[in-house]
């Protein structure tokens, strides 16, 4: 593999720095704009190259020392070597480039990024990887692109302090687990009111022995309120001990006349990992929706009612679709506990739900969707049949968002505004929210 000297000109989606060698773009992880780097070319395709950083011959003036001792080895964070304001600007520029390329929307319709008030210590949910090698348990995170576990004895810099407290206790406890090579992953999730659960992924045959050990070893030793075991798909999750709920709050006054809400999700369910940014995202969605109290709102991929229930306070009716039954059950429970009586939830694939609604001739004033990274193209193609005046699209993946927005443009919808929201500082990932209006 040959080596090259490369000047880094910009940051790219995926987290790598980008430079050019003989006119061909080259992506190099862990570089910064302004670096002159010696790199080893590891991939040479027709249209691009990928390089491995060997040495910063002339470091960028923007470089800082990352606080995490395993940064560069762990596959989680990609930008701890950049100041947070530079990370934010890079994300905003990358997001704008992706959306504009697909939709040709004017640059001024892409608003400034909403930065996170906590660049570190924000993650409320973390999946820790485990591997037992030569009698030693390694616990931490995968090295990027591998299943090699980078041991992280000091915890995770972007994890909430309570998550790290639980993790450090688990590191000690797991030394006594009877089958240390049969637990490849432990998930930790915390609420913002003291509750916390741990989920042990178990691949052994001694379920009773493992369950008995967890019942003896965890309560009183690890600061959690619930312990669970999973032996395959989510359907195999079983309660070992304690409570199964994790709750978080949407603060009173977050939006005019908003009374505040407490929502929960159960082990295996989805929630945003950054509670502060989640509240900010909901507030922005409500502001853009401009509800007057008479609207019918459709919430696709509604989860536990994270958007549905705040929206229900300001409209006539909310209908939510989600294909994970447990999340629908949580949404129904959340509606009851928050005295919301104008929200209905259905366990069904969102695209099938839209198809069914269109077949019945139903209409909605607003459709809100928050799909997984794969986007929602199948549902997107049918949403115009419901005749919504507005569509609000919350996305965690700019490329699939750009694809889906281009489809909505062809169906007669105009992008009014789009704003990136930094839900994941120190990584290249970001959330975003876009509002479209029917022509």
Q: Which residues on adjacent β-strands are paired with residue 251?
A: none
Q: Which CATH architecture has domain 89-117+275-438?
A: 3-Layer(aba) Sandwich (3.40)
Is the whole-model pTM more than 0.75?
yes
Supply the residues annotated as catalytic. 396
Instruction: Name, in order, each residue with C-beta under 8 angstroms of 416's C-beta and a sequence gap of 6 or more.
Output: 109, 288, 435, 436, 437
- What is the tens place of the pLDDT at every residue in 380-437? 999 999 999 999 999 999 999 999 999 999 999 999 999 999 999 999 999 999 999 9
Q: CA quadruple 366, 405, 302, 122: dihedral positive or negative? A: negative
Sheet holding 10-11, edge to edge: 3-7, 36-44, 48-58, 24-28, 17-21, 10-11
pLDDT confidence band for 343 (50 / 70 / 90): very high
- Tell me 384's DSSP state: G
pLDDT confidence band for 153 (50 / 70 / 90): very high
Average pLDDT (350-362) is 97
DSSP E strand stretches across 90-190:
125-133, 136-142, 149-151, 185-190
Q: Does domain 3-63 have CATH number 2.40.50.140?
A: yes
Closest CA to 297 of 370, 215, 374: 370
Residue 340 has pLDDT above 90, yes or no: yes
- What is the tens place of the pLDDT at every residue in 14-34? 999 999 999 999 999 999 999
- Provide φ and ψ at 241, rounded to 5°: -165, 145
> For residues 173 and 198, is the Cβ–Cβ distance under 8 A?
no
Give the span between the Cα atoms of 153 and 141, in whole angstroms: 11
Average pLDDT (146-151) is 93
Give the span between the Cα atoms of 242 and 244, in whole angstroms: 7
> For residues 276 and 422, is the Cβ–Cβ distance under 8 A?
no
State both tokens at 82: 């950049």
Q: Which CATH architecture has domain 125-190+196-242?
A: Beta Barrel (2.40)
Every domain of the chain with CATH number 2.40.50.1070 lies at 125-190+196-242
State both tokens at 225: 């309120």
> What pLDDT is stored for residue 282 in this prediction?
98
pLDDT confidence band for 338 (50 / 70 / 90): very high
Every domain of the chain with CATH number 2.40.50.140 lies at 3-63
Where do we find the tokens 């980008």? 18
- What is the tens place of the pLDDT at every residue in 155-212? 999 999 999 999 999 999 998 999 989 999 999 999 998 899 999 999 999 999 999 9
Every domain of the chain with CATH number 3.40.50.150 lies at 89-117+275-438
> What pLDDT is stored for residue 108 in this prediction?
97
pLDDT confidence band for 145 (50 / 70 / 90): confident
In order of 81, 313, 399, 414, 429, the CA distances from 351 in angstroms are 41, 26, 20, 22, 25
Average pLDDT score, the chain: 96
Give the span between the Cα atoms of 180 and 166, in whole angstroms: 18
- Tell me 62's DSSP state: T
Residue 1 has pLDDT above 80, yes or no: no
């Amino acid at each position: 593999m040959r080596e090259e000297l490369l000047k880094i000109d910009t940051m790219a989606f995926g987290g790598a720095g980008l430079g050019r060698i003989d006119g061909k773009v080259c992506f190099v992880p862990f570089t910064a704009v302004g670096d002159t780097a010696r790199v080893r070319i590891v991939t040479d395709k027709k249209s691009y190259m990928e390089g491995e950083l060997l040495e910063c011959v002339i470091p960028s003036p923007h470089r800082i020392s990352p606080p995490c001792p395993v940064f560069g080895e762990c596959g989680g964070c990609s930008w701890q070597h950049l100041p947070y304001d530079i990370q934010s600007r890079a994300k905003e520029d990358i997001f704008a480039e992706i959306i504009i390329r697909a939709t040709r929307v004017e640059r001024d319709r892409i608003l400034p990024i909403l930065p996170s008030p906590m660049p570190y210590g924000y993650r409320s949910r973390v999946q820790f990887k485990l591997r037992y090698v030569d009698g030693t348990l390694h616990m931490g995170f995968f090295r990027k692109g591998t299943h090699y576990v980078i041991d992280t004895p000091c915890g995770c810099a972007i994890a909430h302090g309570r998550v790290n407290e639980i993790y450090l206790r688990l590191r000690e406890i797991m030394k006594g687990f009877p089958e240390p090579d049969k637990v490849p992953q432990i998930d930790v999730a915390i609420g913002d009111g003291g509750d916390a659960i741990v989920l042990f992924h178990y691949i052994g045959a001694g379920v009773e022995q493992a369950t008995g050990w967890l019942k003896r070893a965890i309560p009183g030793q690890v600061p959690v309120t619930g312990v669970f075991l999973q032996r395959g798909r989510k359907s195999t999750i079983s309660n070992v001990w304690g409570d199964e709920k994790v709750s978080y709050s949407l603060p009173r006054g977050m939006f005019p006349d908003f009374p505040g809400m407490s929502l929960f999700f159960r082990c295996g369910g989805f929630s945003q990992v950054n509670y502060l940014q989640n509240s900010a995202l909901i507030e922005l969605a409500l502001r853009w929706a401009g509800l007057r109290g008479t609207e019918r709102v459709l919430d696709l991929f509604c989860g536990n009612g994270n958007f549905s229930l705040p929206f229900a306070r300001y409209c006539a009716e909310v209908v939510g679709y989600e294909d994970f039954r447990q999340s629908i059950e949580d949404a129904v429970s959340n509606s009851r506990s928050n005295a919301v009586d104008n929200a209905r939830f259905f366990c069904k694939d969102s695209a099938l739900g839209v198809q069914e609604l269109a077949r019945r001739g139903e209409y909605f004033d607003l459709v809100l969707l928050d799909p997984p990274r794969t986007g929602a193209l199948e549902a997107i193609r049918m949403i115009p049949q419901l005749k919504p005046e507005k569509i609000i699209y919350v996305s965690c993946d700019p490329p699939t968002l750009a694809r889906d927005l281009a489809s909505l443009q062809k169906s007669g919808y105009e992008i009014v505004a789009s704003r990136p929201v930094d839900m994941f500082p120190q990584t290249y990932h970001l959330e975003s929210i876009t509002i479209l209006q029917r022509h």
